[in-house]
Structure 1
Amino acid sequence: MQKTFSALIGIGACFITSAHAQSIDWQKVDEALGRKPAVADDVHRYGFPRTDLTVTLDGVTVKPALALGGWVAFKPMHGGAMVMGDLVLLETEVKPVMAKMIANGLEITALHNHLLRADPATFYMHVAGHGDPVKLASAIHDALAESKTPMTAAQANPPPVIDLDTAKLDQIIGVKGQANGGVYQFNVKRRDPISDDDMLLTPVSAMGVATAINFQPTGGGKAAITGDFVMTSDEVNPVIAALRTHGIEVTALHSHMLNEQPRLFFMHFWANDDAIKLAEGLRAAIEKTASTKN
């Protein structure tokens, strides 16, 4: 009886969310942000890659899809929308962007590095808000205009070839990856549901709460890897141990949100080595988390 009641609640919530999604004028949101989104279920996710930057790390020129892909995601909620995002900024851009975000009623939920030794150094500002989606979009646009983040979407170019054995990488990681801007990307979902302010964060990849793993080919079967593991507190040190045992550097450990359930930690990493060897190390770390994989 309890399961049936819970199922009915879930179905009702889906109908309410669907109704809210239909009432949002997404074209106005698109216009406010100056770009089209990737749409997954009821989430509209807008990319703000730092295509204007040339960032190098340990001799590797970092592609935007590897570690410079800022984004904001809108999800219908309570008659409006919730927004979450992760914006890529230079050190000199942090203060003016933060000031504008706060002035426009948005919350700053985290500010930190993801990489070490990058030149120039990049910082990552996580933001959140709830309300009218067009007003939220305008506020985010105005804040980002305080930086040199490109405010018009870049023209699509033919995607570079991924010079890696991607089928083998899929097999090892345990999920199917996809190519994006010369980078091979994986999203590994957790088995447990994740919510923020009692709102279920689905789909998890679009909302930034799936483990993200990126491979950028660097020649001769090698790849630079980075991304972030999404973990509960008891998983943190087992994942650190697994990564370090396999020659993968841990570069940051922190939170991204303020009110999520369960409490989550995000661990960023870096290496440039044989891609298959690195994939095996990443899989060993994934095994220390409550993740879904083959």
Structure 2
Amino acid sequence: MFELLIVAGVTISGAARGEDILWSKVDKAMGRPAAVNQDVHRYGFPRTDLNVTLDGVTIKPSLALGGWVAFKPMGSQAMVMGDLVLLETEIEPVMAKLIEGGLDITAIHNHLLRASPATFYMHVGGHGDPVKMAAVIHDALAVSKTPMTAPAAPATPPAVDLDSAQIEQIIGVKGQANGGVLQFNVPRRDAVTMEGMQMVPVGPMGVAEAINFQPTGNGKAAITGDFVLTDIEVNPVLKTLRSNGIDVTALHSHMLMENPRLFFMHFWANDDAIKLAKGLRAALDKAAVAKN
């Protein structure tokens, strides 16, 4: 992720792969194993304890309730960023623990409208000793009702009752079934950096166009996610989503000091899955996304 960074007087190149980090200790501090993609270690904290409904749809954790943190190595140190899913009453105690532990809060906001109970999303960041940062994040989440033991994998993964092949063809990238939800990460065409550090891989680092489909029966799906946009892309994408029957539910930042400056647009609809896929593709065409 780092092209070139000076940390404590030591030059660290982008090839740093984190061999100096004892990831088993980070896993222990987080209370669960990581999903590893290239050099990024990502930890999921889905809110499986919550029963959130929106427009009559019971939201699966993998649709919109999947809190996460990701560590990117910087030699023997790491950068961390993440998105924690919280109830309103949990925001202040979790924030206090994170600040006390030296981590940064980079955004707090909604992603959805009309959901019951309402959920909020706290974005965090920092760099330093990954074991210490992991312990801070674990202790902060422990003052919420976030489940602190990793959920057991089901014996049979839930089926995604949609025409996944046709949706993939329309969206233009391969999807992934996760917890009964079809998920897409569409990379942007140009690199995203933070303090000279390239944010890759884009999906685990939260800078891909994220699109999720949850089947709701008879070929319909609830969709949500977020478009990652530059300033000039915001209104063309917003107007395209709305003209295709897709609600825009939030527009905000997630990070600080990224380049280019990015805005995250969240959306929601529950309708024919193929119709919605075409609307999302039209919106993607208004942004500088990578072409297959």
TM-score (norm 2): 0.95
Counting only pairs closer than 5 Å after superposition, residues 100-111 of structure 1 correspond to structure 2 as 100-111=97-108
Q: CA 1:9/1:201 → structure 2, altered by over 3 Å: closer, same or farther?
A: closer
Inter-partner Cα distance in structure 2 for 1:226 and 1:262: 24
**Deviation of the 1:292 alpha carbon:** 1.3
Residue aligning to 2:9: none
What is the percentage of aligned positions where both structures have the same residue? 71
Counting only pairs closer than 5 Å after superposition, residues 2-81 of structure 1 correspond to structure 2 as 13-15=13-15, 17-18=16-17, 21-77=18-74, 79-81=76-78
Residues 1:144 and 2:141 are matched in the alignment: yes
**Deviation of the 1:9 alpha carbon:** 7.7
Counting only pairs closer than 5 Å after superposition, residues 210-229 of structure 1 correspond to structure 2 as 210-229=208-227
**Deviation of the 1:142 alpha carbon:** 0.5
Q: Which amino acid aligns with 1:148?
A: K
Runs (4+) of structure 1 exceeding 6 A deviation are none
Q: Which runs of 5+ in 2 are unaligned?
A: 6-11
Aligned residue for 1:204, secondary structure, equals coil
Residue aligning to 1:162: 160
Q: Which amino acid aligns with 2:100?
A: A
Inter-partner Cα distance in structure 2 for 1:87 and 1:33: 14
**Deviation of the 1:172 alpha carbon:** 0.2
Conservation of the 8 A alpha-carbon contact between 1:173 and 1:293: no
Residue aligning to 2:189: 191
Q: Which amino acid aligns with 2:55?
A: D
**Deviation of the 1:196 alpha carbon:** 1.1
The structure with more helix, counted as a fraction of residues: 1
Q: Which runs of 5+ in 1 are unaligned?
A: 1-7
Residue aligning to 1:274: 272
Inter-partner Cα distance in structure 1 for 2:235 and 2:253: 15
Conservation of the 8 A alpha-carbon contact between 1:253 and 1:267: yes
Inter-partner Cα distance in structure 2 for 1:79 and 1:73: 16
Residue aligning to 1:133: 130
Q: CA 1:9/1:141 → structure 2, altered by over 3 Å: closer, same or farther?
A: closer
TM-score (norm 1): 0.94
**Deviation of the 1:79 alpha carbon:** 3.8
